[in-house]
Structure 1
């Protein structure tokens, strides 16, 4: 199944263990883990890292994208990168639900962008649901930020270090805390 087709198929559904789609996801995840081990197992130049990420995502990356090692993504195929992006070390993308990183985004060390959740019903707890995350142009995620499923971080927004973002962040604001709340508007 094509990656875009898979992404569209899993939006808004419960993905239950034992289902064909659940098994397919875990097979693709295992293949991605092999590539990540090769990429993170030793030092690679920025160009080599982009080459690995192109294989992991199945998309061409602009030469202006900089990703520090180690970088982790559990699925890999549902992430897209714009231009002039900097991602610091020890960042994790759980991207089964889709992650879009627009141009000029900065992502601090140890950030986590999560698009997958387990189900609330205890009988289905090992099942999954997904919701896409979008980080808009010129946003900045400080160190150790967590972005949860379904969130959009607005254009020029800043997410302060250690924040947990549970709902959309408007354009041109600074948010902080857990859950993150607006602490300041950015004027320019």
Structure 2
């Protein structure tokens, strides 16, 4: 298996069988991610250096407008897709095997967790994983300590309150919060200006 076949498998939504070929390949990708995140998280780096290291981590260049503050953690990295003018704050953890797509202008707060894998429900198959992507729209703001679960789409302009656990899709231009997160209210016309 090569990286392209691995990503095709993940992006198809098919389960990753515990001990199977994709699972074993995932362990090698994880080692690369751990090496690069250790470098990102050790010492001070200029913003250009951080963008270069992040580009190596995800396997493609990020826009010059992308910024993030370490520490940053991921156990894959190769299925992260970042738009322009995106900011990721300190302490974030991206489990991106299922795919993480972050739209232009998104702001990701401190300690946000984006998790794209679930384990199989059957105890006899618990080592198997089911990937599902997270889509974060344009100009979304995700507050500190929020957790976004597999398969969630957050609509353009939405706000996810600090500490929320988001298990379902978020309509555009709304504020969601709580555990589990639910719509608190839509953004007002004044707030949308």
CA RMSD of superposed structures (Å) = 1.1
Structure 1 match to 2:8: 8
Residue 139 of structure 2 is matched in structure 1 by 138
Partner of 1:164: 165
Q: Deviations over 1:27-63 (max 9, x none)?
A: 1111111111111111111111110010010111111
Mind listing any 5+ residue stretches in structure 2 that lack a counterpart? none
Superposed, which structure 2 residues align to 1:20-99 within 5 Å? 20-99=21-100
SS at match of 2:8: helix
Superposition deviation, residue 6 in structure 1: 2.2
Distance in 2 between residues matched to 1:86 and 1:57, nearest whole Å: 16
Separation (CA, whole Å) in 1 of partners of 2:152 and 2:58: 21
Q: Secondary structure at the match of 1:123?
A: helix
Q: Check conservation: 1:3, 1:78, Cα contact below 8 A.
A: no
The answer to whether the 8 A contact 2:6-2:25 is kept is no
Aligned mates of 2:87, 2:138 — CA distance in 1: 12
SS of residue matched to 1:134: strand
- Measured after TM superposition, the shift of residue 14 of structure 1 is 2.1
State the alpha-carbon separation in 1 of the partners of residues 18 and 158 from structure 2: 37
**How many residues of Structure 1 are paired with residues of Structure 2 in the alignment?**
188
* Deviation at residue 4 of structure 1 after TM alignment: 4.7
TM-aligned CA deviation for residue 92 of structure 1: 0.6
| Secondary structure of the corresponding residue to residue 30 of structure 1 | helix
Equivalent in the alignment of 1:117: 118
**TM-score, structure 1 length as denominator?**
0.96
Alignment TM-score, normalising by the size of structure 2: 0.94
**Cα displacement (A) at 1:2:** 5.3
SS across alignment from 1:117: strand
Q: C-alpha separation between the residues in 2 aligned to 1:143 and 1:76?
A: 21
Specify every segment of 5 or more residues in structure 1 that has no aligned partner in the other structure, as ranges: none
Moved more, 112-121 or 10-19: 10-19
2:185 equivalent to 1:184: yes
Q: Secondary structure at the match of 1:42?
A: coil
